[in-house]
A and B are shown apart, each in its own frame.
Chain A
Amino acid sequence: MNVGKHPAILVVDDNHDNAEIIRQYLEIRGYAVTVAHSGDEALALYERVRPAVVLLDVMMPGRDGWEVCKIMKQHPTLGRTVRVIMVTALDEWQDKREALQLGADDYVEKPFDLPTLAATVERNLAMQRANSA
């Protein structure tokens, strides 16, 4: 189980370099980070990792981030507590409505700086803790 000191974070990005940078940055901050390079891989890992937060890149070949988000949120048990952060620019009102419709909790615009990313992760973790308490 991944409650307590080392909250589990699943980072999903088809770009290996990006994923690696995020992993290192977050691991130093005490999170247990798992990386997936595709939507399918993320879903396969989902039940094992039981992430508190998923950082989900939208633009991926194959199953895109939106679809992954929707499936994760539909999970009968994990779907209730997981926080999904979409990694994409949501400029238009319409994009944000769409994101809400699929169950996303937050988003980070690309390109992002790492402190912003960490702050976003932290505020979602805080929310997740409050909700599961």
Chain B
Amino acid sequence: MSDSLLLTDSDDPNIDAAIALIDGVSVQRVQTDGLAGAVTEEGVRGVLIESEDPVALRSVVEAAHAAGVPVIVACADDTTRRRAVELKAEEWYRCPATVDEISQRVRSAIARGAPPAQQSADRVERVEYEQMLHDSLTGLPTLPVMIERSRGLFKERGELMVLYLNFVRYSKIEEIYGWEKLDAVLETTAAAVREFLDDTALSTSRVMVSFTNDDDFIFFHIPASGVSAATESEITEMVSRLQRHVGARIEAQHGEEIAALFDIYVGRAHVYYNPKIRLERLIYRGIREAANASRSIEERERARRVADLRASLRDRGVYIDYHPIVVTETRKIFGYEALARGVLRSLRSPEVMFDVAAEADLVWELSRLCRSKAIEGIETRLQPDEVLFLNVDPHDFSDPAFNEDEVKFPERVVIEITERTAIKDYPKFRERLRAFRERGFRFAVDDAGSGYAGLGSIANLEPDFIKLDMSLINAIDTNFIKQNLVETMVKFANDHGAKVIAEGVERADEFKTVGDLGVHFVQGFFLHRPANLPLSATPPRRERQVSARQAP
């Protein structure tokens, strides 16, 4: 056993003493830049690295792991320690360390370096635990880790402020665009939050962030000793800067559609150290208080939006953006999907607008306004051979004001019905569809394939068009299961005399892939963004003003 070696670049005499406690292992000193090369040598059972150079650290860890040799990192500071954990070094300790501590770390690392058969269960468990400590997407520590880290500082300074950042409508992003998109948005958000903290000095205080799996972020703000915590106005100012910063980042990377969905409400709570109460409990109470505060701000904000919506309905404050749908082969515009937007900034996003309407029981009224605005466009903005795709909620069919005679050119309207809404009274619904169909309207199933339901429910609606859900199109060029699903859908459509539309095509590779798969029409930022269409050259008859106000 005496031929087992521990390589190290450290001069720490404690290491020699520590290794002397371990049977059959001796120390061999190697320059930092020689470590990576030396790990493959006969008898090497472990590497202990002290260098703070991140490049050296990485290359040593990688070389050692490739050779099946465990690594111990002697960390001079927190940064090195974090790197060690990220690189999955088997062990680490803080310098300076006692002989006992070092020998324990080395012993346990060498034990872990044993063949995987014995240790596999441990390793799996460790991988899992590590994933629990740091959120894999955002790279931020989870709450228990952050509480541990802030413990000492909180005790010493006696005061801690909790900021709870409630990101609303992130679940909506997942629902509409799929989890990959939400993951990407969260990543952007976390990066933006970290960036912001790096640039923001709240005196010399410590600020830490953690991520809850509920898509929210928690800040701990611990004032520097002798300095009082940030004032209300400082915090308010910081929050609004943070909001702008994150919003701008999201818009830059994911477009305004997604940025329009984004909102942060920040609640705060002060916690004072009290030796009689367990520290975790104090902090958790603070977090709860801050979370509640953020929710009550959210409620207030909602009430304001409802007022905005009422005003918009009164003033017909909705305009339409038209998003082209093109023929895949020729890229010629076939028609437009009408997307309603609120004139008021707070109601710009249609999702937000309809959310607010649902809360205030104004869905029919808002739908009527959006519909009449969109239908006006057929005469005033579209070319005579172009078709209008109109989003209609299945619930709208029970609105007596919505009927098959409302529109002058039914053959130029395709009604989009989303697969997401559950339809309650199916026979009645189909009867309504038939009435519309007889007048010449066509139908599209929107968000097709978003659920788990498959093709049966689509067949039930006998659609003329099938609009594939964006989550199937996003990165379809690299995912063969998505390609397979879309292929199935195209075949199904061809068998049933329907046409397939791919929504959310954002990149050339996605465009090419859906084209190869036989998708008939394409819609998405790769070709066009939704935009306001100018009034067409030939002025339509004046009476459209009247017909647009038909709704009671």
Contact = CB atoms under 8 A, between A and B. Distances in A.
- Chain B CB within 10 Å — which of A76, A92, A124 has the most? A76
Interface residues of B, number: 34
Contacts of B449: 93, 97
B485 A96 contact: yes
- Chain A CB within 10 Å — which of B66, B453, B481 has the most? B481
Contacts of A75: 127, 131, 136
Closest 7 CB pairs of A and B: A93-B454, A44-B120, A106-B480, A44-B123, A94-B452, A43-B124, A74-B136
Given A48-B68, A93-B455, 17 more contacts: A40-B121, A40-B124, A44-B120, A45-B116, A47-B65, A47-B88, A71-B128, A74-B136, A79-B136, A92-B454, A96-B481, A97-B452, A100-B482, A105-B481, A106-B479, A106-B481, A131-B478
Given A47-B65, A92-B454, A106-B480, A74 B131 contact: yes
A107 to B, nearest CB: 6
A105 B479 contact: yes
A41 B86 contact: no
Interface string B468-497: 000100000011111011001000000000
Interface of B: 62, 65-66, 68, 86, 88, 116, 119-121, 123-124, 127-128, 131, 134, 136, 139, 179, 449, 451-455, 471, 478-482, 484-485, 488
A127 B119 contact: no
B481 A71 contact: no
Contact of A48 (B65, B131, B179, B453): B65
A93 B452 contact: yes
A107 B482 CA distance: 11
Interface of A is mostly: helix
B481 A104 contact: yes
Interface residues of A, number: 34
A46 B116 CA distance: 11
B255 to A, nearest CB: 22
Contact of B481 (A1, A92, A100): A100
Interface of B is mostly: helix
B62 A43 contact: no
B480 A124 contact: yes
A123 B488 CA distance: 20
A22 interface: no
B119 A44 contact: yes
A72 to B, nearest CB: 10
A100 B120 contact: no
Interface string A24-63: 0000000000000000110111111000000000000000
Contacts of A120: 480
12 contacts: A1-B66, A43-B123, A43-B124, A44-B121, A45-B116, A47-B88, A71-B131, A93-B449, A94-B454, A96-B484, A100-B485, A106-B481
Contacts of B121: 40, 44
A99 interface: yes
A66 B26 CA distance: 44
Nearest to B454: A93
Contacts of B478: 105, 127, 130-131
Interface in A65-104: 71, 74-76, 79, 90, 92-94, 96-101, 104
Nearest to B478: A127
Contacts of B452: 93-94, 97-98
Contacts of A107: 480-481
Contacts of B62: 1
Contacts of A130: 478
A43 B65 contact: no
A100 B449 CA distance: 12
A55 B428 CA distance: 49
B479 A100 contact: yes
Contacts of B482: 100
Contacts of B128: 71
Nearest to A131: B478
Contacts of B488: 93
Given A1-B66, A93-B488, A71 B479 contact: no
